[in-house]
Amino acid sequence: MAKLSSINKNERRKKLVKQYAGKYARLREIADDESRDDGERLIARLKMAEIPRNANPTRVRNRCMVTGRPRGVYRKFKLGRVMLRQLATRGMIPGVVKSSW
């Protein structure tokens, strides 16, 4: 089990990303648009720098929904490799069967 503070910190980041998503997307679009003049693009980048760091989507960490484990997480199931194996063995994930031969 991961530290509860790490899990909570990640949840706060997700909330901030959601809050600033529209503003971040608009500024990103302006900053990446090469048809606009350099001054306008620079202003957009400076405004992006004013947005809180944790509002950047790249700072959100994929974590296991059960244990909070940060590594070895399958995006499709949102589960860590260990929990995925345990739940698949018990038959608790629909459509997933652990192979045996």
Could you tell me if 94 and 77 are in contact, meaning their C-beta atoms sit under 8 angstroms apart? no
Has residue 40 got a pLDDT over 80? yes
pLDDT over 80 (residue 6): yes
- Model confidence at 10, pLDDT cuts 50, 70, 90, reads very high
pLDDT band at 97 (very low <50, low <70, confident <90, very high): confident
- In 3D space, the residue among 5, 15, 13, 47 whose CA is nearest the CA of residue 30 turns out to be 47
Task: Write out pLDDT tens, residues 41-80.
Answer: 999 999 999 999 999 999 999 999 999 999 999 999 999 9
Sole residue written with tokens 């899990």: 7
Closest CA to 17 of 49, 60, 46: 60
Please check whether residue 88 is in contact with residue 96, taking contact to mean a CB–CB distance below 8 angstroms.
Answer: yes
Residue 32, classed as helix, strand or coil, is helix
